[in-house]
Amino acid sequence: MTDLAPISYSPWEMFLNAGPVVRCVMILLIVASLLTWTIFLAKSVELLRVRVRLFRAEQALEQANTLDLGEEGTRHNGIAHTLVMAAETERKRSADIPDDSEGLKERIVLHLERLEAAEGRRLMRGTGVLATIGATSPFIGLFGTVWGIMTAFTGIAASKATSLAVVAPGIAEALLATALGLVAAIPAVVIYNHLARQTASCRAQVADLTALVMRLVSRDLGRMHALTASGQVVRFGASRDSRSVAGE
């Protein structure tokens, strides 16, 4: 009586012995899992850099006394400089509207809110793929399992053998698809929630920058009103080096 070589049931062997449909499902789930971790690494590095830039911009705006100084301190600093320049642009465009402090503030706030929302959407870019992977991977794996079990039962019927040694390999290969589906879905959901929290933190920092910019705008408007009350007229849209003061 000859000894039969033991059959290997390692995941790699089950993958190689699986049918073409189940194998395609497994490959799709493996690609989805690799994509999940790639997005995690890329977004983690991106959000870390964003947090550092926002922190530096917040310090610069805290130390600035005017909007012009805030523009200098946030130069080449991404969204912070965009916010400051948006306020500066609206201020210059409204220079010909007299006694319009509240209207100017309202227009600047509306513009900054749009920029803040756009930055939030930019920070969340790419994370939607994680939500899709987390929601669909278990069902894709389940499809592979159902198909594999159907194929296994068809083979059992064709061979007319019902022993466990014949049934077990096909069912094990089919269940591997479900396992890969969970391996792809669980990290995707966890990583998506993690990145969503990090993005929310960055959006809160952007909101803080918006408040700091509005504080500088309000401070500049207060100075303008003080000069106006003292009998001087300041052309508010002019640059800091070309302000004209009448009544001197």
Mean pLDDT of all residues belonging to the chain: 81
For residue range 9-29, what is the model confidence (pLDDT) as tens digits?
676 677 667 778 888 888 999
Between 242 and 49, the more confident residue is: 49
pLDDT at res. 244: 39
pLDDT tens figures, 178-228: 889 999 999 999 999 999 999 999 999 999 999 988 888 888 888 877 777
pLDDT at 46 over 80: yes
pTM value > 0.85: no
Judged against a pLDDT cut of 70, whether residue 166 lies above it is answered with: no
Q: Identify which of 234, 204, 248 has the alpha carbon closest to the alpha carbon of residue 66.
A: 234
What is the chain's length? 248
- The CA-atom distances, in angstroms, between 247 and each of 40, 170, 229 are 61, 94, 12
Residue 233's H or E segment, with its range, is strand 233-234
